[in-house]
């Protein structure tokens, strides 16, 4: 499609006032133009101080002389004709502002040739006008030379950061575009060094591996969904892989990298209690959707989009994740986690120097952007009582005299073939208890040991027991010998009156007891002693939200309060209690984490222990 200058009516609908913030903005716009021109090979080269020299070369469709004469005018584009075309945008660019903006703040030269032309064209451009134009011999495609960025706007140039930081921005742009277009070969060169070189890949997983590295690629799961309106292909982390922010969440809608908090949150919901709190899953979502169902014309950078409410794509994305995530949970490896969490955040240039990998024809930078300080410190709060733990296993006490020391070396999991836990745990034997907290299991065949946190494990058991009771409307309750009187503010009292059934479904028997006062007569048995009053206040504070079911009053509060009566770190457990604790854990729906997302089990390889003794 040839380039035209848009009419005023169309311009008024799309004009964004394109501003080139930094050299990375230039690289982004020019690469996107190359992709829209059907390029299969793109080379980005940076030389000297960032902004001194940028070259983008592609093998795309190129431009003829008529297109070249219009390309640098405001709102000149080949992607649109009328306002109605905004409903069918599949190209990365469409406003026709980028080339004009670049030509006004830099010294610009372009070489281009179409397949049908006998010769190519060379043009020098300034302020949106071609100063010089001549014929040259060229292969098909386009090359842009951008020099002296911001030479005529020194104030803006003053706000650029140091060269390494600005190059980081360029690397991030190239990385994101490359991840979203695996069928295009993209090479990034800095001062004659190849920083990134990706070949055209039919397999997206290979592209992810080459850019994000082995640690991420090896911990990604995959699922797809197809319908008439959209196609979903998503790679998402298992429960061993997470980050302290959303930087490694990549969303591509019709090939365009975007940010969409709705999509991020719907995916994150399914990691709830699978990974620690305040941590985020890694995912790459490729969504091909009917253009009429997505609005890309809401932000100057085109990074943000709005999805139509006329489709249920968000729900389907969530279900696509859930379908594969739960059956593929894994036991955390503390050695690898420690290495990951100790990784300092470095510039791309530092990563290049430290981690350059030779790969015959290319050198690929492994990703070390994120500094993860995973806080896995156990809560040391002195819980109220051990009575619930004792009563829970009281039925076993009569048998404990017959439970001899040899039981510790027996396989207590034998015969539990339908457990929801990793099969390697089923073949483990109890070795002992470390620091009255960590139960030690040994799998001699796989040369691994497993450490089970007794507190986290019991939290998980109690939480799932409470959850099952709630979902089956059969919460076990206990009558308080001394009913608890709870005083509330008028606003709090109003919330309780409007949501009384919420508390009843959760196992709390509450009645009004005078002005702004409640009396609590029964509580869920799982709560134990002393924690229910605070829970009532916490739950009331969450009732101003739109909730769909009683259980959504505040799930985080419920989890924390339900864990108050769990055995603590330092509690001494008998052999029979350890036995039944582990048997209950392996039959949990999610035995790998406590309700807070902290691990219940970690594994340590014999090899890692040998390394500590320098026996490599």
Report how far residue 503's alpha carbon sits from residue 508's, in angstroms, rounded to the nearest whole number: 5
Q: Same domain, yes or no, for 173 and 208?
A: no
Beta carbons within 10 angstroms of residue 614's beta carbon: 6
Q: Same domain, yes or no, for 241 and 322?
A: yes
Is residue 409 assigned to a domain?
no
Per-residue pLDDT reduced to its tens digit, 238-252: 988 888 888 899 999
Which residues, other chains included, contact 334 with Cβ-Cβ below 8 Å and sequence gap of 6+? 602, 603, 604
Q: Same domain, yes or no, for 134 and 20?
A: yes
DSSP β-bridge partners for residue 223: 234
Beta carbons within 10 angstroms of residue 601's beta carbon: 25
Task: Please give the radius of gyration of the chain, using alpha carbons only, rounded to the nearest integer.
Answer: 30
Q: Which of 159-163, 333-337, 422-426, 437-441 has the lowest mean pLDDT?
A: 333-337
Residue 408, pLDDT > 60, answer no
Dmax (CA) for the chain in angstroms is: 98
Q: Bigger pLDDT: 409 or 320? A: 320
Tell me what pLDDT residue 577 has. Answer: 86
In the predicted model, what is the mean pLDDT of residues 319-347?
64
Tell me what pLDDT residue 60 has. Answer: 92
- The residue among 326, 354, 389 that closes a domain is 326
CATH of the domain at 126: 3.30.565.10
Q: Same domain, yes or no, for 132 and 231?
A: no
- The residue among 179, 196, 213 that closes a domain is 196
Q: Same domain, yes or no, for 226 and 289?
A: yes
Question: Does an H or E element contain 519, and which?
Answer: strand 517-524
Q: Bigger pLDDT: 310 or 331? A: 331
Q: Same domain, yes or no, for 45 and 123?
A: yes
Per-residue pLDDT reduced to its tens digit, 159-214: 888 898 899 899 999 999 999 999 999 999 999 999 999 988 778 999 999 898 88
Q: Same domain, yes or no, for 213 and 188?
A: no
- The residue among 273, 304, 326 that closes a domain is 326
From the number of C-beta atoms within 10 Å of its C-beta (0-12, 13-18, 19+), residue 448 rates as buried
CATH of the domain at 506: 3.30.1370.100
Q: At 70, give phi and psi (nearest 5°).
A: -100, -20
Report how far residue 600's alpha carbon sits from residue 377's, in angstroms, rounded to the nearest whole number: 12
From the number of C-beta atoms within 10 Å of its C-beta (0-12, 13-18, 19+), residue 521 rates as middle
Distances (CA, A) of 72 to 7, 38, 358: 16, 20, 40
Per-residue pLDDT reduced to its tens digit, 529-538: 655 666 677 6
Per-residue pLDDT reduced to its tens digit, 484-529: 888 777 777 877 887 787 778 778 888 888 777 888 888 887 766 6
Residue 299, pLDDT > 80, answer no
pTM: 0.61
Q: At 266, give phi and psi (nearest 5°).
A: -65, -35
Per-residue pLDDT reduced to its tens digit, 144-172: 999 999 888 888 888 888 898 899 899 99
Q: Which of 124-128, 220-224, 359-363, 537-541 has the lowest mean pLDDT?
A: 359-363
Tell me what pLDDT residue 543 has. Answer: 62
């Amino acid at each position: 499609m040839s380039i035209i200058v848009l009419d005023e009516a169309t311009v008024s609908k799309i004009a964004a006032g394109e501003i080139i913030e930094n050299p990375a903005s230039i690289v982004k716009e020019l690469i996107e133009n190359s992709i829209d021109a059907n390029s299969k090979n793109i080379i980005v080269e940076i030389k000297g101080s960032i902004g001194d020299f940028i070259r983008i070369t592609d093998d795309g469709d190129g431009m003829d002389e008529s297109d070249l004469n219009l390309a640098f005018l405001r709102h000149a584009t080949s992607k649109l004709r009328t306002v109605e075309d905004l409903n069918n945008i599949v190209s990365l660019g469409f406003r026709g502002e980028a080339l004009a903006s670049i030509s006004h703040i830099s010294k610009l030269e372009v070489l281009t040739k179409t397949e049908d032309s006998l010769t190519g064209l060379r043009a020098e451009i300034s302020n949106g006008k071609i100063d010089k134009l001549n014929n040259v011999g060229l292969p098909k495609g386009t090359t842009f030379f951008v020099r002296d960025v911001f030479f005529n706007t020194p104030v803006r140039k003053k706000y650029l950061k140091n060269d390494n930081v600005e190059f980081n921005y360029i690397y991030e742009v190239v990385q994101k575009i490359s991840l979203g277009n695996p069928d295009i070969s993209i090479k990034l060169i800095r001062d004659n060094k190849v920083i990134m070189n990706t070949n055209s890949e039919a397999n997206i997983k290979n592209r992810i591996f080459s850019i994000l590295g082995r640690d991420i690629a090896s911990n990604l799961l995959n699922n797809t969904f197809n319908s008439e309106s959209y196609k979903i292909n998503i790679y998402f982390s298992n429960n061993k892989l997470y980050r302290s922010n959303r930087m490694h969440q990549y969303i591509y809608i019709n090939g365009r990298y975007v940010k969409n908090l709705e999509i991020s949150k719907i995916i994150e919901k399914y990691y709830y209690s699978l990974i620690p709190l305040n941590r985020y899953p890694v995912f790459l979502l490729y969504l091909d959707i009917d253009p009429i169902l997505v609005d890309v014309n809401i932000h100057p950078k085109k990074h943000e989009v709005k999805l139509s409410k006329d489709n249920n794509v968000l729900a389907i994305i969530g279900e696509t994740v859930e379908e594969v995530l739960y059956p593929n949970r894994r036991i955390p490896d503390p050695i690898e986690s420690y290495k990951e969490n100790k990784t300092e955040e470095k510039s791309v240039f530092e990563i290049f120097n430290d981690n350059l990998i030779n790969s015959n024809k290319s050198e690929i930078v492994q990703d070390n952007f994120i500094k993860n300080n995973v806080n896995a410190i156990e809560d040391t709060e002195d819980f109220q009582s051990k009575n619930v733990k004792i009563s829970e296993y009281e039925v076993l006490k009569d048998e404990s005299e017959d439970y001899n020391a040899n039981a510790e070396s027996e396989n207590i999991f034998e015969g539990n073939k339908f457990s929801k836990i990793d099969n390697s745990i089923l073949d483990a034997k109890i070795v002992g208890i470390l620091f009255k907290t960590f139960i030690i299991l040994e799998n001699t065949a796989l040369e691994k040991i497993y450490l089970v946190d007794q507190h986290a494990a019991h939290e998980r058991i109690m939480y799932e027991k409470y959850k099952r009771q709630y979902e089956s409307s059969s919460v076990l309750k206990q009558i308080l010998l001394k009913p608890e009187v709870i005083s509330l503010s008028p606003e709090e009292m109003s919330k309780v009156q409007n949501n009384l059934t919420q508390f009843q479904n959760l196992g709390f028997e509450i009645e009004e007891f005078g002005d702004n006062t409640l009396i609590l007569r029964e509580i869920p048995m799982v709560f134990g002693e002393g924690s229910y009053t605070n829970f009532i206040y916490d739950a009331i504070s969450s009732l101003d939200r739109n909730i769909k079911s009683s259980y959504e009053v505040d799930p985080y509060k419920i989890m924390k309060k339900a864990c108050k009566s769990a055995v603590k770190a330092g509690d001494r457990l008998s052999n029979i209690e350890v036995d039944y604790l582990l048997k209950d854990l392996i039959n949990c729906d999610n035995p790998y984490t406590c309700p807070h997302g902290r691990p219940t089990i970690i594994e340590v390889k014999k090899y890692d222990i040998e390394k500590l003794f320098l026996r490599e």
